[in-house]
């Protein structure tokens, strides 16, 4: 019989063996640990019905979002299917259908207000880099100085979502503030270092705190997270007429359907479209 710690060690070995991204490794490990601690038993003593009970608890009592519950689902399926080599009836542990709501996009004026509110060069540089290149949160925190390719006006994004490398857009304004930042802070390996642990990069939580600090300072009342900067990047590019296939490449989407979501966010006025009803020949008004 395995202990809780032995289960986690074997899981750690399995995710490393498959070369899963560091983010996925941490996610699976954390989810399995929480699951075992919830019942105070090793996973070897828990089964399908316990997984169902746990997922129901996360949904109903904890009130987690569909995306969060699905991340637990994925982690537990890996734990049992791979680490413990136990076949689960996946129909008994269904994934949530994600209800995707339209995010409250920041206008370009609000983006400018947010940047103006930044009274710290490092903080402003981080937020401008996220918006300027349309980066995910974990992508900006893991940037290295060597990832700035100023000769090609590109940022190298290493090990992005799905373990893929890609090049992101490096704008002239972004390059200029990055140069000012480099002169002031002289970063060596990581572009943005942690203030708590100077040996590693800034954490995702720290970037979230920075965003909300200046969101409040700029008096923007929209209920948004730092990821809205990536959404706004894509939407503003579409509104300016950039081809959606080019935006797909810049965002690092593997499926064009993910990028097409931004079509729903477009301001109708920016489409400059005419209804086909107005293209019909004018009809005489009836007297009735």
**Residues forming the active site:** 136, 161, 227, 230, 253, 262
- CB atoms inside a 10 Å sphere around CB 160: 19
The helix/strand/coil state of 278 is helix
Within the chain, residue ranges assigned H as helices are: 4-17, 22-39, 48-56, 66-78, 108-117, 121-133, 137-141, 172-185, 204-217, 228-239, 244-251, 256-260, 268-271
Q: Which residues pair with 149 in a beta bridge?
A: 154
> What is the DSSP code (8-state) at residue 152?
T
Sheet hosting strand 148-149, strand order edge to edge: 148-149, 154-157, 166-169
Q: Phi then psi for 245, rounded to 5 degrees?
A: -70, -30
Give dist(CA 240, CA 242) in Å, integer: 6
Calculate Rg over the CA atoms of the chain: 23
Helix H or strand E segment including 157: strand 154-157
3-state secondary structure of 41: coil
Query: For the residues of 177-232, what is the DSSP string, one character each?
Result: HHHHHHHHH---SBSSB-SS-TTSBPPHHHHHHHHHHHHHHTT------TTHHHHH
DSSP state of 165: -
User: Rounded distance, CA 76 to CA 29, Å?
Assistant: 10
SS3 state of residue 283: coil
């Amino acid at each position: 019989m395995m202990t809780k710690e032995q289960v986690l060690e074997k899981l750690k070995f399995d995710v490393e063996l498959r070369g899963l991204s560091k983010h996925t490794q941490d996610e699976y490990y954390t989810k399995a640990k929480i699951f075992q601690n919830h019942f105070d038993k090793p996973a070897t003593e828990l089964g399908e019905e316990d997984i169902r009970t746990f997922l129901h608890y996360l949904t109903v009592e904890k009130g987690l979002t569909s995306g969060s519950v699905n991340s637990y689902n994925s982690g537990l399926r890996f734990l049992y299917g791979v680490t413990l080599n136990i076949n689960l009836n996946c129909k008994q542990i269904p994934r949530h259908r994600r209800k995707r709501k339209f995010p409250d996009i920041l206008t370009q004026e609000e983006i400018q207000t947010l940047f103006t509110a930044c009274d710290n060069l490092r903080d402003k540089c981080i937020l401008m880099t996220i918006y300027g290149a349309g980066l995910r949160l974990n992508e900006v925190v893991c940037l290295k100085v060597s990832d700035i390719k100023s000769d090609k006006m590109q940022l190298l994004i290493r090990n992005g979502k799905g373990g893929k490398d890609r090049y992101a857009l490096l704008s002239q304004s972004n390059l200029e503030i990055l140069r000012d930042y480099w002169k002031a802070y002289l970063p060596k390996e990581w572009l943005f270092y942690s203030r708590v642990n100077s040996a590693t990069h800034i954490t995702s939580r720290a970037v979230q705190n920075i965003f909300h600090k200046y969101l409040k300072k700029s008096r923007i009342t929209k209920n948004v997270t730092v990821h809205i900067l990536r959404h706004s990047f894509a939407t503003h590019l579409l509104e300016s007429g950039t081809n959606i296939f080019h935006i797909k490449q810049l965002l690092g989407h593997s499926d064009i359907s993910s990028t097409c979501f931004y079509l729903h966010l477009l301001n109708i006025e920016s489409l400059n479209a005419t209804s086909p009803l107005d293209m019909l020949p004018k009809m005489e008004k009836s007297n009735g």
